[in-house]
Structure formats: structure tokens, C-alpha cells
Amino acid sequence: MKRAWWKGLVVPAALIVLAELAMRVQGSTSMSLAAPSDIVAAFFAILFDGSLLLATRDTLVSAGIGLAAGGFIGLALGILFGLVKPLDRLMEVTIEAIRPIPSVAILPIAMLVFGFGYRMEIAIVAFSCLWPVMIMTRSAMAGIEPRLLEVSRALRLSTWDRVHKIVLPAALPRIMVAFRLAASIALVVAVTVEIAANPLGLGYGILVAQQALQPAVMLAYLVWIGIVGYLLNAALSLMQQRLFGRAGRVEAAS
């Protein structure tokens, strides 16, 4: 296990040093760029004055609730369509028509209905998360080993038992993948909505810094969003492993 883990850090570190040198030598007063050291300083400034944490909370709350709501609806619909084939065929065209609408395109409608604030952002995040979760849940259900369904028939399991003892556990690893994908979509959409319209959260933080001609603060937000996204994915990945344990890893591998 003595792999040289630091080798992967050589290139980023060199780039940072290079950027620092370039900015210093040039004595730049750019409105879009800043020296790494200035970005770090700006980061601590917004960290200690509380604005970064407040913005992070606002973004995560919107993204989280939107993900939960959209994910839940998507999951429920995906299961329903997976179980009731006639309904699936009935809804296919409708879904194919709505799904390609870019989520940000419903922003004007959402603003009309909800105004500015959490509710509007949550609605758009939920709309964006609904589709991938629904579609992947539906296909996860279609991909269940038919033999297992036959076993449940042979044992005469009730519909409820069949769903929660066979169908859901069998589909769960792939549903979990859908949720991880939806989580990254939720963050992207939340920040986009904040930059485009909503006066709260990390996206709004970037926008304000840009308009106040503070590139270091703007880039500090940018780096922080990257870190938040990374941590979110790592947390979900850890949760996935915890949830499925030995059997889950085996399932995912096969």
C-alpha cells in the first residue's frame, strides 16, 4: 500500500504556485482573476464574518429539500410505473414530452407562482431531480431478476411483501445511484437559480462578489462550492456502503 499518494497533488500544486507567481509579477488588478493567496485570505474573511456559512446553509437547505421532495416523488412514480405496466405505457409519451425541458426554463413560472425565496428554488430543484430518479427507478425495477419475482409468486408473497422484501431491495443499489446523480444535479441547479434570480445562497454570494468587483471573494466561493460538492458526494458514497454492507458491494460488483 506504499503508493506515492502525493504524486497526484504535484500538478495542482505547481499550477497554484504558477498562478501566484504570474499574478504577483504582473501586478494584476484583474476583475475576474485573483492570486491564490488572496483567494485564501478572502475565504477566511467570508468564513469568519459568517456570510459563507449562512450562504452554504441556504443553498444546502434548498438543494436538500428539493432533492428530498423531487426524489421522493420520482421514486414513488418510478415504483408505480414499474409495478403497473399499463400505467407506464399510458404515461410514456407525456413523460417524454416534459422531461427534456431544461429545469432552469421553468424559472419564470416558478417565480410567478412562488416569488423569490426558498420555495421557488426548492420547486425548481425538485423538478430537476424528479426525472432522473423516476426514470432510473423505473429501469431498476425493469432490471430485477425475473427469477426472484417468480420465487415471490411461488411463495405467494402479498403485494406489499413483494414490493418491500423483493422489488425494493433488488432495485435499491441502482436507486441509490440515481439519488447520487440527483444530489449533484440538485447542487448545480440550486446554485444556478441563485445566480440567475434568487437572492440567497452560494450562487448569490458569487454574483454579489462579482458585481462588487471582488474577484478573490468570487473565486473563494467557487472553490468552496467545489469542496461542498465533493464532500456531498463522498458522504453519499459512504452512506451507500454503510447501507448495503457486504451484500451491497457484492451486488454492485456483479
Partner 1 sequence: MRAPDTTVKAAAPVIAFDKITLAFGAKTIISDLSLEIGRGEIVCVIGPSGCGKTTALRVAGGLIPPTKGTVRLLGEPMAGPRRDVAIVFQDYAKALLPWRTAAGNISLALEAAGVAQSERGDRIRDLLTKVGLAGHEDKYPTEMSGGMQQRIQIARCLAQDPAVLLMDEPFGALDAMTRQGLQDEMLAIVAETGATVFFVTHDLEEAVYLGDRVIGLLPHPGRIGIDQRIDLPRPRNQLETRETLEFLRLRRTLFDFIEKAEH
Place of cell 462550492: 225
Total residues contacting partner 1 by CB under 8 A comes to 23
Residue 7 within binding range of partner 1, rule CB under 8 A: no
Q: What angle do CA 59, 63, 67 make, to 5 degrees?
A: 170
Contact letters (x/-) for partner 1, 28-47, by CB under 8 A?
A: --------------------
Cβ 195 vs Cβ 115: under 8 Å: no
CA dist 153 → 137, 162, 172 (Å): 22, 9, 20
Residue 64 within binding range of partner 1, rule CB under 8 A: no
* Nearest-approach distance from CB 77 to partner 1, in angstroms: 24
CA dist 241 → 75, 144, 148 (Å): 20, 21, 23
Residue 242 within binding range of partner 1, rule CB under 8 A: no
Stretch that binds partner 1, among 61-69, 76-84, 190-198, 239-247 (CB under 8 A): 239-247
CA dist 177 → 27, 33, 137, 237 (Å): 47, 36, 10, 9
Residue 76 within binding range of partner 1, rule CB under 8 A: no
Site for partner 1 in 141-170 (CB under 8 A): 145, 147-148, 150-151, 153-157, 161, 165-166, 169-170
**Cβ-proximal residues to 217 (8 Å cutoff; 6+ apart), any chain:** 42, 45, 46, 205, 209
Nearer Cβ to partner 1, position 167 or 217? 167
Judged by CB under 8 A, the residue of 76, 212, 235, 250 near partner 1 is 250
Residue 15 within binding range of partner 1, rule CB under 8 A: no
* Nearest-approach distance from CB 137 to partner 1, in angstroms: 17
The SS3 of residue 227 is helix
Residue 20 within binding range of partner 1, rule CB under 8 A: no
* Nearest-approach distance from CB 172 to partner 1, in angstroms: 8
How many beta carbons lie within 10 A of that of residue 109, not counting itself? 13
Nearer Cβ to partner 1, position 92 or 145? 145
Cα-Cα-Cα-Cα dihedral sign, residues 113, 119, 120, 126: negative
Give the footprint of partner 1 on this chain (CB under 8 A).
145, 147-148, 150-151, 153-157, 161, 165-166, 169-170, 172, 244, 246-248, 250-251, 254
